[in-house]
Structure 1
Amino acid sequence: MPNPMIPRERADYSAIVDRPPLKLPGKARIVFWTIVNYEVWDIHKPMARQVLPAPTGMATTPDVVHWGFHEYGMRVGCWRFFELFKRLGIRPTLAANARICEDYPRVAEEARTNGWEFMGHAYEQGPIHKEEDQAGMIARTMGIITKFAGKKPVGWLGPGLTQTMETPDLLAAAGIKYIGDWVYDDEPTTIRTANGPLVTLPYTMELNDIPMMLVQHHQSDYLLKRTIDQFDRLYAESETRAKFCALAIHPYISGQPHRIKYLEQIYDYVNRHAGVLHWNGEEMLDWYGGVAKG
């Protein structure tokens, strides 16, 4: 493969004020995009996140305590998510490590039964940069999810949003249509790859419970406060152009007993507003494709 493009070569600079405003169907004003992350942390590798500092500052493997922290999400926290979204009639995007279909089939089956969108999130949780065969890992991920879910994923999110310069080319070659790793705009955009265009959807780093709770160590209710602040501004701006508000959550964090009520309150607040669509990534992609063709 020739030298891959750098981001600026894939996406020309575009000021949002210079673009024609996007319009959603009917009287809709804003899309609230929920992304739920279900993952597999391999006990033989360093854990993806740590809450407790390593004794004497020396990280150790196996890290059983943080494996258990993640495992709580798949045993308990995820069921709080399932109950919430079933009650609300929302079918979120599931950023799924393909390995959940093997290690947690009970959880993956529930997501499939509830009609959640499966988005590729690598085979297991770990940085893309550590993959010796990135194309092979992408193919493995796509194959497992396709067989399990009964349809091929159209979206991709790198673990920890990690990507290399050639990742967009490899994803497009594998049939991926949209990615969430480019958090550089309020609206969907299209980037260039060696294998055709790829849509970026406006994912989020800051309305994300990992940096907010595990890195910045905010109080349990802070996700509610920040999401309301984000939503309020975007909703006001949506009077003149379509807006998109993404929320990324993990069951071992927002599924904890001391946090779940604040997640529930987010949806109570959002749903008091007219013109809100709870779309998943595939629905956003289909709409954006229709707008682009029109």
Structure 2
Amino acid sequence: MPLRPLRSHERFRYRAIHNRPQYEWPGGKRLALYIGFNVEHFEFGSGRGARLCPSSEPDVLNHSWREYGNRVGAWRCLELFDTLGLPTGAILNTSLYEHSPELLAALRERGDEFIAHGHTNADSQHDFERETERELIADCHARMSAAGTPPRGWLSPWIAESHHTPDLLAQQGFAYTLNWCHDDQPMPMRTAHGTLWSVPYPQEINDIPMIVGRQMDMPDFCRMIEDQFEEMLRQSATQPLVMGIALHPYLVGQPHRLKHLRQTLTRLAYQGEAWWSTPGRILDHLLALPESRELEAQA
């Protein structure tokens, strides 16, 4: 069988991390650290959603378990973030503007960055027709902008994309996506409407795949967070890096898990060697540097 060229996404070229421009984060830091705080709302009686255990529709058990995150877990997490002075990138379904406006008001009052996350995590956009997906992205941007929180970043529900998603995001004016987890630095992507930046988002330092998918206990997940931090801090002596921590309040807001998260975030916060930020602020800092233009030119 003859060897064949493999299909490519054509969004970026390969570029090894050791062969890139050098720069620093604010304060001379080399590791930027952020919390991706996923606040989500789900349709009752149908659609997708993480499950504590199998159940039939109407799925009262799992729906109410996830709803705990909006009613209780998120507020416990915000108390912790306030205590430690930590900002978040708040990754939000637009259905929350009607469902739990008080929670969104609290996030806005804290100064958290609002990041678009589709309308609901009951849906996945991977099989949407192009026009339907375009309308979803445009409507989410318009809804958040009308509320005074225009988003610059996007994370698809379930990190699901069509072949057109990056083009549609750039067309709508989004500056960056969190969907791609191919690097430890913000990197430019080519689209039909110019550059869309990819800011690293964690697929393993993420409570859904670890706690739900791999059935990991919270002490083990927190050990992962600390191991990731320690190793990336060491690596950042060679290159500036970005580390994200993806959290969902219906998981980490449970008291038995929050106890361990509190201990881990306290250790990281008082360590003092990383720049705690949000995805948008990380990208803004890079875009203000001449090195970003070099990266974009070689995308």
- Pairwise CA distance, 1:64: 1.5
Taking the aligned partners of 1:232 and 1:215, their CA distance within structure 2 comes to 24
Contact 1:96 1:119 in 2 (8 A): yes
- Pairwise CA distance, 1:288: 1.4
Does residue 141 (structure 1) correspond to residue 137 (structure 2)? The answer is no
Taking the aligned partners of 1:7 and 1:134, their CA distance within structure 2 comes to 22
Taking the aligned partners of 1:240 and 1:185, their CA distance within structure 2 comes to 15
Does residue 16 (structure 1) correspond to residue 12 (structure 2)? The answer is no
Contact 2:188 2:197 in 1 (8 A): yes
The residue type paired with residue 233 of structure 2 is Y
Identify the residue that residue 126 of structure 2 maps to in structure 1.
Answer: 129
Q: Provide the aligned C-alpha RMSD in A.
A: 1.5
Instruction: Say which of 76, 92, 99 aligns to 1:80.
Output: 76
Taking the aligned partners of 1:134 and 1:64, their CA distance within structure 2 comes to 29
Does residue 71 (structure 1) correspond to residue 67 (structure 2)? The answer is yes
Matches within 5 A, 1:218-229: 218-229=216-227
Instruction: Say which of 90, 93, 101 aligns to 1:94.
Output: 90
Contact 1:27 1:275 in 2 (8 A): no
Identify the residue that residue 205 of structure 2 maps to in structure 1.
Answer: 207
Contact 1:46 1:63 in 2 (8 A): no
- Pairwise CA distance, 1:256: 0.4
Identify the residue that residue 48 of structure 1 maps to in structure 2.
Answer: 49
Identify the residue that residue 258 of structure 2 maps to in structure 1.
Answer: 260
Contact 1:220 1:262 in 2 (8 A): yes
Identify the residue that residue 28 of structure 2 maps to in structure 1.
Answer: 27
Contact 2:34 2:87 in 1 (8 A): no
Q: How big is each residue's C-alpha offset from its partner over 1:153-185, in whole Å with a ceiling of 9 and x where there is no partner? A: 000001111111100000111110001110000
- Pairwise CA distance, 1:196: 0.7
- For the residue of structure 2 that corresponds to 1:192, the secondary structure is strand
- Pairwise CA distance, 1:62: 1.9
Taking the aligned partners of 1:12 and 1:124, their CA distance within structure 2 comes to 33
Taking the aligned partners of 2:183 and 2:166, their CA distance within structure 1 comes to 17
- Pairwise CA distance, 1:293: 4.3
- Pairwise CA distance, 1:22: 3.2
**16-25 or 192-201, which moves further after superposition?**
16-25
- Pairwise CA distance, 1:7: 5.3
- For the residue of structure 2 that corresponds to 1:190, the secondary structure is strand
Identify the residue that residue 116 of structure 1 maps to in structure 2.
Answer: 112
The residue type paired with residue 177 of structure 2 is I
- Pairwise CA distance, 1:51: 1.4
- For the residue of structure 2 that corresponds to 1:197, the secondary structure is strand
Taking the aligned partners of 1:160 and 1:263, their CA distance within structure 2 comes to 23
The residue type paired with residue 42 of structure 1 is E
- After TM superposition, the score normalised by the length of structure 1 is 0.92
Taking the aligned partners of 1:86 and 1:195, their CA distance within structure 2 comes to 39
- For the residue of structure 1 that corresponds to 2:183, the secondary structure is coil
Taking the aligned partners of 1:91 and 1:226, their CA distance within structure 2 comes to 21
Contact 1:91 1:280 in 2 (8 A): yes
- For the residue of structure 1 that corresponds to 2:70, the secondary structure is helix
- Pairwise CA distance, 1:45: 1.7
- For the residue of structure 2 that corresponds to 1:16, the secondary structure is coil
The residue type paired with residue 124 of structure 1 is T
The residue type paired with residue 39 of structure 2 is Y
Contact 1:28 1:274 in 2 (8 A): no
- After TM superposition, the score normalised by the length of structure 2 is 0.91
The percentage of counterpart residues that share the same residue type is 32
